[in-house]
Structure 1
Amino acid sequence: MSVFDLRGIGPKKEKTLVENGYDNREKLMDANFYDIMRLPGFGYTITCNLWTSLNRNLDYPNMTEVVEYTKNDVMIENKKVVPWKQYKKSKNFVLQPPEYKPQRTTVWSFPDRGDWASHTSQYRGNWSPWVVRNIIERYSKLGDVVLDPMVGGGTTPVECKLLGRNSISIDINPSAIQITKDRLCLPDEYSEELQFSEHKTYVGDVRNLNLIADDTIDLIATHPPYTNIIRYAPCVDGDLSQITDYKLFFKEYRKAIKEMYRVLKPGAYCAVLIGDTHNKSHYVPISTKMMIDYLKEGFILKEDIIKKEWNCESNRYLAKYAGADFLLTMHEHLFIFEKPVCDINSLKNSSLDFFEE
């Protein structure tokens, strides 16, 4: 007979729980989600199902501001990321891109990723500063507050600093925040060339932006994880890139969308770069699902920009998938969403109309 009488928890899982001291329902009600998740045979998906059976909500950590910069190497994906000055010590420092031209179409292509200022390519999956610069220049103004709630390697706040915008950077991974703080440390001799701006960094979960008030952010610019395609922080509780189940990933990411909508000012924009993937032999339209979820939360789709991928054209990448029965994905979607000033229901022919449940 089942000890817990919980849906989806079979005899083996029950045995594991009992062996680890969770021998009654009351103890499970007091248990920490991530302690259970780390038990053999559990993981994020099964533990989420267990929490649902217990009628328990997941708790997300509050934002914690990080002021100190340790100046140490950090590990991302089990690879060492060194301070940018060490990484670029043999290169001449260039503060701004030499030939910046604003994009005027819905297809963006940047063969040169961009490595001015403190930008580097060490953080795999980080977006190009050319993309971020175009977003910031087009959808914000001097002195605005730009939020990146999944900041990764710090591209967004660096561009904010170069362009005279204030920034708030958040990441679930403390190592990512240390990388961001390192990238924000530009040489003092260039300070007079930059507009004054403030930049705050936090360890936190995008599903709980507790220190940010409603309707206070001028622009959101972010490049979220594509489910578990790149696992950035395998040892960090709550990292969305660890969720292997697509439905669960989108369920959790929907909570992030709610928070982004809450903190963004009416009439302001939210820019999200997202790509798709293949699961064995079929295409998984992650970007389409994510776009629909943003619309369902009340955003309006301002633009759908196609960003061409260049790193996929390397011989190494082509050789790896030469025998695969699918076409290589060579693009990402950059969605520009707007938080409407008025009630979405009063807008005729809005993008939401196409995706009503």
Structure 2
Amino acid sequence: MVRYNDIDMNNWKEYIDIETDSLWIIDKRDNSGAHSGYYHGNFVPQIPFQLLSRYTKKGDWVLDPFMGSGTTLIEAQRMRRNSIGIEIQKDVAKEALSRIRKENNPDCSAKVCVGDSAKLNFDALYESLGIKNVQFVIMHPPYWDIIKFSDNPKDLSNTATLDDFLNSFGELIDNTTKHLEKNRYCAVVVGDKYANSQVIPLGFYCMNLFLEKGFLLKAILVKNFGDTKGKANKQGIWRYRALASDFYIFKHEYIFVFKKTK
């Protein structure tokens, strides 16, 4: 049996820091070392820690096509996983690289690229790194247009319609998982959207894209999140709006885990 993590099942009781339940309650983000919550929309480091613990082993290659502030690559450095981060914004990538270098680990590599993950030539990139495949892909795409990350028309947060978003994200899935090793895993962190007096189940739309492309769904994880920057110190206002109307305030996001079998 091919191993896809470093967990020693002879000592399974020792892994008390690894989640096995589908509900993740994370009270406080890890801001140790190079980690920082400065970047609007980045996810907590505990997410890549958990996923890399379960689905990768030391020396594996991890791809993050929405690198942002570099959270995944920082965790990969700490955990001795090789990593590749793709970021569409040059200034964001530059800032992320400076943080990743603070966690420099001589036992692994971290590569940062500026580009559009849907169009990037991964064949050439992987050839330059001396690899043929990656062993894990972790995606944290924009939740459509909830946060505008840039003015770049290729940025998913600038897509005009839901169909445009899903079509563009589908292209990105194809391009970034083409070299995902068979029988290895990928994960998507995504939340839903509320607009025009209705819930837009963006998470499940994204989940269906993977299913349509032949991936096996291995887990639907639900993670809590606290107040966003846009809602900070406005809890009372949002509670009033929820009680006065017919909606609930989003306090969760999804983490979907898939296995590539084709």
Structures share fold, TM-score greater than 0.5: yes
Query: 3-state SS of the aligned residue for 1:250?
Result: helix
Q: Please, what is the CA RMSD of the aligned residues?
A: 2.1
TM-score by length of 2: 0.85
How far does residue 327 in structure 1 lie from its aligned partner after superposition? 0.5
Q: Which residue of 2 aligns with 1:150?
A: 66
- Code of the residue aligned with 1:330 in structure 2: it is K
- Which residue, 216, 226, 241 being the options, matches 1:323? 241
How far does residue 179 in structure 1 lie from its aligned partner after superposition? 1.9
Superposed CA offset, 1:215-272 (max 9, x none): 60110112110111111112x2411111131111111111011112312110111111
- Which residue, 314, 335, 338 being the options, matches 2:256? 335
- Code of the residue aligned with 1:207 in structure 2: it is A
**2:225 equivalent to 1:309:** yes
- Which residue, 95, 119, 138 being the options, matches 1:208? 119
CA shift in 2, pair 1:232/1:206, >3 Å? same
Equivalent-residue separation in structure 2 for 1:282 and 1:215 (angstroms) = 44
Q: Which residue of 2 aligns with 1:163?
A: 79
Q: Which residue of 2 aligns with 1:285?
A: 201
CA shift in 2, pair 1:338/1:215, >3 Å? farther
- Which residue, 248, 255, 265 being the options, matches 2:171? 255
Size of the aligned set, in residue pairs, is 237
Query: 3-state SS of the aligned residue for 2:249?
Result: coil
Between 206-215 and 157-166, the greater mean CA deviation after superposition: 206-215
Equivalent-residue separation in structure 1 for 2:155 and 2:228 (angstroms) = 26
Superposed CA offset, 1:49-75 (max 9, x none): xxxxxxxxxxxxxxxxxxxxxxxxxxx
Equivalent-residue separation in structure 2 for 1:169 and 1:124 (angstroms) = 17
- Which residue, 138, 141, 161 being the options, matches 1:221? 138
How far does residue 312 in structure 1 lie from its aligned partner after superposition? 5.6
**2:12 equivalent to 1:120:** no
- Code of the residue aligned with 2:141 in structure 1: it is P
Query: 3-state SS of the aligned residue for 2:233?
Result: helix
How far does residue 101 in structure 1 lie from its aligned partner after superposition? 1.1
Query: 3-state SS of the aligned residue for 1:143?
Result: coil
CA shift in 2, pair 1:183/1:315, >3 Å? closer
**8 Å CA contact 1:312, 1:330 repeated in 2:** no
Give runs of aligned pairs for residues 222-237 of structure 1, distance below 5 A: 222-234=139-151, 236-237=152-153
- Code of the residue aligned with 2:258 in structure 1: it is F
CA shift in 2, pair 1:232/1:312, >3 Å? closer
How far does residue 174 in structure 1 lie from its aligned partner after superposition? 0.8
Equivalent-residue separation in structure 2 for 1:318 and 1:309 (angstroms) = 13
Question: More relative contact order in 1 or in 2 (CA 8 Å, sep 6+)?
Answer: 2
Equivalent-residue separation in structure 2 for 1:128 and 1:312 (angstroms) = 12
CA shift in 2, pair 1:274/1:148, >3 Å? same
TM-score by length of 1: 0.63
**8 Å CA contact 1:216, 1:264 repeated in 2:** yes
Query: 3-state SS of the aligned residue for 2:258?
Result: strand
Equivalent-residue separation in structure 1 for 2:214 and 2:251 (angstroms) = 30
CA shift in 2, pair 1:315/1:129, >3 Å? closer
Identity over the aligned pairs, expressed in percent?
29
Q: For structure 2, which runs of at least 5 residues remain unmatched after alignment? A: 1-15
Superposed CA offset, 1:120-176 (max 9, x none): 110011010011100111100000000001111110000000100011110111122
Q: For structure 1, which runs of at least 5 residues remain unmatched after alignment? A: 1-99, 344-357
Give runs of aligned pairs for residues 266-277 of structure 1, distance below 5 A: 266-277=182-193
Query: 3-state SS of the aligned residue for 1:111?
Result: coil
Between 321-330 and 143-152, the greater mean CA deviation after superposition: 321-330
